[in-house]
């Protein structure tokens, strides 16, 4: 295991992440005392498929359809107007 001071980790993070990804175990130290262990993430239950990273965000409400009424509802909610709830 390689010992790495936290200041060095801050300067060369990408390099150390590449080392950890390739299987190295890196011990992060502060004032020469171990504080963390950097290793590769071996998540067996996570599957990265062909569509990974291709998701798109869509608004929950269409502004034109509501005519801006949802803004009034949000403003009431922030003020604490519960309308009997």
- 22: domain CATH number is 3.40.1620.10
pTM here? 0.49
Residue 53 within a domain: no
Q: Which domain holds residue 10?
A: 2-38
Query: Number of structural domains, the chain?
Result: 1
Residue 30 within a domain: yes
pLDDT above 90: residue 12: yes
Residue 82 within a domain: no
Buried-state track 22-57, b at ≥16 Cβ within 10 A, e below 16? eeeebebbeeeeeeeebeeeeeeeeeeeeeeeeeee
pLDDT at 3: 95
Tell me the per-residue pLDDT of 22-76, one tens digit each, with 9 for 90 and over. 889 999 999 999 999 999 887 666 677 787 888 888 777 666 666 777 788 888 8
Residue 62 within a domain: no
């Amino acid at each position: 295991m390689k010992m790495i001071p936290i200041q060095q980790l801050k300067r060369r993070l990408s390099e150390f992440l590449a080392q950890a990804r390739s299987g190295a175990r890196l011990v992060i130290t502060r004032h020469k005392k171990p504080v963390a262990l950097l290793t590769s993430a071996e998540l067996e239950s996570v599957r990265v498929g062909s569509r990974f990273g291709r998701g798109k965000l869509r608004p929950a409400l269409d502004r034109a359809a509501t005519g801006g009424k949802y803004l009034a509802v949000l403003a009431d909610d922030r003020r604490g107007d519960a309308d009997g709830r």
